[in-house]
Amino acid sequence: MGIVELEHVNVDFADKKGKVVHAVHDVNLTVEKGDIYGIVGFSGAGKSTLVRTVNLLQKPTAGNIRVNDTDFVKDGKQVIANKNLQLARRKIGMIFQNFNLLNEISVVDNVSFALKHSGLKEKEIKEKSLNLLDLVDLKEKANFYPAQLSGGQQQRVAIARALANEPDILISDEATSALDPQNTAQILSLLKKLQKDLNLTIILITHEMGAVKKICNKVALMQSGQIIEKGNLRDVVLHPQNDLTKSFVGGSLEVINTLKSLNLDKLNDNEAIYQLVYSMANVTKTIIIDLYRQIGVEASMLYGNVELLDDEPIGTLLVQVKGDKDKQQATVDFLRKEKVAVTRLNEKGDLYE
């Protein structure tokens, strides 16, 4: 059984005109202890609303929610007493895009704030807060004010604060979205390290597949309130089923941005662009040369990248292939046989229709 179990969860809102918006629709999700579970999707997909049901900051309209072996909601009704919910919430830390720090108090006091109801003495609170700052490598900034820190440092304070009550689960809601690539990478590797050292379970909400690929072991893709695909990261990246997933899993933004920046003319009937994603361990052959030798098509490379998924090198290539309809079909068949996930794109980087 998972540490978080969501069954048939729905969240409906009424919009301004009274029309019902299904922000979350029939979601089933099991997060196992120790997972770093990425929930990815475009803005408005329902990611934030969904994770806010885990600590009941958002009450669901229907469904069952069970966290840490405790029923929170059954058949859409809260079954945990409010007092117990308060205690349970302390075991679910949360970090946000805008850090949510108190600007008028020092960094260490921001962390201590979370321990107000811990029953610890003032001196113990201070000591614990300093230890938490040490954990995120910021002890030397304890007496600074949030505004004196960089975005990445402020997020680390927020992480220290979120860990103050020794949570089992940490929810990260777009925690790196406001950060530059370097700070993003640092925060992601800190989260990964904390997961290991503290045996945390992390739910990572993001619109960037790149973040998921860096640290998650599982991923769920959301679109219009629904989970359209979920599973082990490797399976989803190498064998995406859904069209949206296919366009998400490659270099996603990087691939699309590359194509856009190339400003290619509209492709004619004898040209096609493919995104190829493959495990370098399984695909040892030089695919482009083999395509030429075996299928007789010339593939020119537009983009290439290798990423590590859990230490496994995964390649992404973007190639333009010249050839008639039969040759294009033979190309796709050949690549699929070689265990390459192939997605045809148009010259703008959108899925080919």
Ligand X SMILES: Nc1ncnc2c1ncn2[C@@H]1O[C@H](COP(=O)(O)OP(=O)(O)OP(=O)(O)O)[C@@H](O)[C@H]1O
Please report, as ranges, the residues that interact with ligand X according to CB under 6 A: 13, 21, 23, 41, 43-49, 174
Measured distance CA(45)–CA(222) in Å, rounded: 6
Least spacing, CB of residue 207 vs ligand X, in Å:
6
Least spacing, CB of residue 194 vs ligand X, in Å:
23
- Looking at the DSSP bridge assignments, the partners of residue 232 are 218
In the bound state with ligand X, the residue whose beta carbon lies nearer, of 49 and 328, is 49
In the bound state with ligand X, the residue whose beta carbon lies nearer, of 43 and 263, is 43
In the bound state with ligand X, the residue whose beta carbon lies nearer, of 21 and 185, is 21
Contacts of 319 (CB under 8 A, 6+ apart): 273, 274, 276, 288, 299, 300, 301, 302
* DSSP states of 257-302: HHHHHHTPPPP-TTEEEEEEEEETTT--S-HHHHIIIII--EEEEE
The DSSP letter of residue 216 is: -
In the bound state with ligand X, the residue whose beta carbon lies nearer, of 44 and 231, is 44
Contacts of 282 (CB under 8 A, 6+ apart): 339
In the bound state with ligand X, the residue whose beta carbon lies nearer, of 13 and 292, is 13
Least spacing, CB of residue 13 vs ligand X, in Å:
3
In the bound state with ligand X, the residue whose beta carbon lies nearer, of 47 and 66, is 47
Least spacing, CB of residue 4 vs ligand X, in Å:
17
Measured distance CA(207)–CA(172) in Å, rounded: 12
The owner of tokens 């020119």 is 300
Least spacing, CB of residue 39 vs ligand X, in Å:
8
Radius of gyration of the chain (CA): 23
Least spacing, CB of residue 45 vs ligand X, in Å:
4
- Looking at the DSSP bridge assignments, the partners of residue 22 are 12
Measured distance CA(300)–CA(10) in Å, rounded: 46
Contacts of 131 (CB under 8 A, 6+ apart): none
Contacts of 255 (CB under 8 A, 6+ apart): 275, 303, 316, 318, 345, 349
Least spacing, CB of residue 154 vs ligand X, in Å:
20
In the bound state with ligand X, the residue whose beta carbon lies nearer, of 212 and 302, is 212
In the bound state with ligand X, the residue whose beta carbon lies nearer, of 21 and 262, is 21
Least spacing, CB of residue 95 vs ligand X, in Å:
14
Q: How many CB atoms lie within 10 A of CB 12?
A: 14
Cα angle: 265, vertex 238, 175; to 5 degrees:
85
